Amino acid sequence: MTERADDPANRLVSDLPYRPCVGIALFNVAGHVFLGRRRSKDKSSADAWQMPQGGIDPGEAPADAALRELFEETNVSARSVTHLGQTNDWLSYDLPPDLTKKAWKGRYRGQTQKWFAFGFTGEDREIDIDRPGGGAHRPEFDAWRWAPLDDTPALIVPFKRPVYESVASAFAPMTTWRSR
């Protein structure tokens, strides 16, 4: 049997591309950001929290992907947010070796993300992590909370922390978005 060079299982991790993705920092009027706890069997993990994020569909603009992912993960619709800004650069992270072959069928080494900041103009009752996207999407979180932006890097899985540190730095001015 011949090995195929284009088969992800036969490529070096360093040769794999990054998955194009968006990340969303959703700020409430107190200047805190939405964090969801990833569904997992291990409920005790202190680093299971993250902000909404997800892949960009082919031909989709990153800003459109951010609004779609926000709705699909939190049920917050575009009518309940105001655009505050976005990162200038794409921020990338590599998956740990034990996850590289499992995630996305081994096609990517990690993700490169364009991050968007939105101010939440709705009410907390709009957030529905059990029936996101009006019930059309599988829940990704089993709990959620508002947290200070500066606290987020310590709550994230270690391999994503440098990205969250960059996001916290870039979006620090957004914590006062309501008082402008």
Which CATH topology does 20-40+47-179 take? Nucleoside Triphosphate Pyrophosphohydrolase (3.90.79)
With 70 as the cut, is the pLDDT of residue 10 above it? Answer: no
Is residue 26 within 8 Å of 52, Cβ to Cβ? yes
More confident residue, 8 or 49: 49
Instruction: Report the pLDDT averaged over residues 136-159.
Output: 95
Assessment of whether the complete model's pTM goes beyond 0.85? yes
Residue bearing the bigger pLDDT, 125 or 15: 125
Q: What pLDDT sits at residue 119?
A: 97
Q: Is the pLDDT of residue 110 over 80?
A: yes
Query: Can you tell me the mean pLDDT for 117-137?
Result: 96
- Whole-number pLDDT of residue 9: 53
* Predicted local confidence at residue 98, as pLDDT: 76
Q: Is the pLDDT of residue 92 over 90?
A: yes
Given a cut of 60, is residue 2 above it in pLDDT? no
Extents of the domains making up the chain: 20-40+47-179
Exposed, middle or buried: residue 135 (CB in 10 Å: 0-12, 13-18, 19+)? exposed
Instruction: Convert the pLDDT of each residue in 36-52 to its tens digit.
Output: 999 875 555 677 899 99
Contacts of 27 (CB under 8 A, 6+ apart): 33, 84, 117, 118, 119, 120, 149, 174, 175, 177
